Structure 1
Amino acid sequence: MAQRFALIIDPVGSSEERADFSGTFTVVDAAAPALSVGELSTQRGDGVFETIGVIDGHAQEVTPHLERLANSARICDLPVPNQEQWRQAVAVAAAACPAGEGAVKLILSRGVEHGPTPTAWVTAAPVADFSEVRATGVTVVTLDRGYPLDVAERSPWLLLGAKTLSYAVNMAALREARRRGADDAIFLSSDGFVLEAPTASLILRFGDRFVTPAPTGGILHGTTQLSVFEYLSGQGFETGYEQVPASALSTADAAWLVSSIRLVAPITAIDAHSLPVDPLTAALTEYLLSPRP
């Protein structure tokens, strides 16, 4: 979707103690050129990002997103963003979103090559209508990500725990899934454990127990997954983080892909194994569409 709003954040002085950071934002024409040709975000994908869902002008799960942005920055040796500065920028951008559902994207780049400071900006835009996907579900295939489960600990330079701008592999995985006749994919480690989807977290149901792969081995800790677990715990269900072997996928009673924009998409088939759309899906969707801090 076309960007409707954009602002540039000045990182200089962002570490100062202040209540009002509005003077560090510059609203720019979202349709006009704004980045230098030497910008490393576009040359090398050298930066990190977050995408925050917006419901009727309310930005969802802002704190978990800002915490994950800061963690990604630390992993990538980028200056850790000032959370209050970015929180205020998110509020400005969310207010510019149209009624209904939208998205605010946060980008922190290493900046211009050999430049003195990073580049940071925020955009806002409407999003596609995912109501049908939330109701009828998606089919997925499993794809080998090519790394063992412990690779993030053994090889931290791979940046697998950071949400970086280098998303070419994720997009290639989605294209491969569609070539195989599916809507999406679930990554597996080379030693046979379930990881995540290219742009979503995975939740599996086994009876009244809900499980997501433990956020180790380069798995991002999903912000929407955290909200789903909060709701499920409030309803009396057991939730947990586990190392999930690939063989467990065929024994699940239900499964979902969850993310900030698509929210909750029930999985109706994993490879050749069919799954029902769990009646709980409607309640999860309603909860995720409600305002949350």
Structure 2
Amino acid sequence: MSSSRPVLFLVSADSGCVRVDAEAPHVSVMDLGVTRGDGIFETISVCGGRAQALEPHLDRFVRSARLLDLPDPDLDLYRQAVFAAIDAHDDVAELYIKTVMTRGVEGAGVPTGWVYAAEAADFAGARTEGIRVVTLDRGLRHDVAQTSPWLLQGAKTLSYAVNRAALREAERRDADDVIFTSSDGFVLEGPTSNVILRRGDTLVTPRTDQGILPGTTQASVFEFAQAKGMKTEYAVVPIAELSSADALWLVSSVRQAVPINRLDGVERSIDVEFTARMTAYLLGRRD
């Protein structure tokens, strides 16, 4: 087990970014991020000192803040804290960074912000051998972002109780992860990931106007595919196309691209070579 210790920087308009003891308490029990899950976050993979897709992550951080009617995060401060956290952390194979902003203590009107860095778990097995996935109905139509924007579908919020419940349900069904589907029959996303299908030489992911969080890792995978001469497509994907796809992946920061080797109890073949090339690209080891 690694002996590396996490690194924490508090971020505020008054103090800038200040390093503090990551194991000491810093957030009030009255903070709305704690009591209501009222806040936003991003998780950024770091390999070889390089923050993967940092600017897209920061852009999405701002987008989530606006969806929640939060003040725009000071990206200069958060960017400074990200680089400082990378520099301050022990040299490890893979690191992850969390940028967080809450609405702050109830009634104070001042956001709480921090940047946290810690060593990433070892996902080598999932990346090479694949994972078991089940589909679960999210209970919302695929057009919910247009019909009911107050439900905040497509924002990366701290309110993760439903996502954690879905993963516990997956475990009860002898699976590792979940693909959410809409109540009207379309593929959406995972609790912490985007879905990618391969049809021949085309990679497909569900369109982000369906209440899906725009994926920074998914975008990087599409860049990789386009550089290899493949086609890419954002589409409305019927559930049946999961079974007929040539290959399936869940992609996310830190875990990167993991192939699906079983879907709803049905075994699937995985493309080990293509997945390895995709992962090498995501981790910065360009081929």
Bin for the TM-score computed over the shorter chain: over 0.9
Shift of 1:60: 1.2
The farther-off stretch of 200-209 and 78-87 is: 78-87
One-letter amino acid matched to 2:215: G
The aligned counterpart of 2:159 is 166
Q: How does 1:21-170 map to 2 (within 5 A)?
A: 24-98=16-90, 99-170=92-163
| Partner-residue secondary structure (3-state), 2:58 | helix
The farther-off stretch of 272-281 and 202-211 is: 272-281
Shift of 1:71: 0.3
| Residues 1:250 and 2:252 are matched in the alignment | no
Shift of 1:272: 3.1
| Residues 1:176 and 2:178 are matched in the alignment | no
| Partner-residue secondary structure (3-state), 1:236 | coil
Does the Cα contact within 8 Å between 2:103 and 2:109 map onto a contact in 1?
Answer: no
| Partner-residue secondary structure (3-state), 2:108 | coil
TM-score by length of 1: 0.93
| Residues 1:285 and 2:279 are matched in the alignment | yes
Shift of 1:196: 0.3
| Residues 1:262 and 2:264 are matched in the alignment | no
Aligned residue-pair number: 282
The aligned counterpart of 1:191 is 184
The aligned counterpart of 1:16 is none
The farther-off stretch of 137-146 and 147-156 is: 147-156
Shift of 1:58: 1.9
TM-score by length of 2: 0.95
Structure 2 Cα separation of the partners of residues 165 and 45 of structure 1: 5
One-letter amino acid matched to 1:7: F
One-letter amino acid matched to 1:70: V
| Partner-residue secondary structure (3-state), 2:198 | strand
Give a deviation string over 1:87-122, Cα, whole Å, max 9, x none.
111111122233210111000100000013111111
Q: Identity across aligned pairs (percent)?
A: 52
Unaligned runs of at least 5 residues, structure 1? 13-22
| Partner-residue secondary structure (3-state), 2:208 | coil
Does the Cα contact within 8 Å between 2:17 and 2:80 map onto a contact in 1?
Answer: no
Unaligned runs of at least 5 residues, structure 2? none
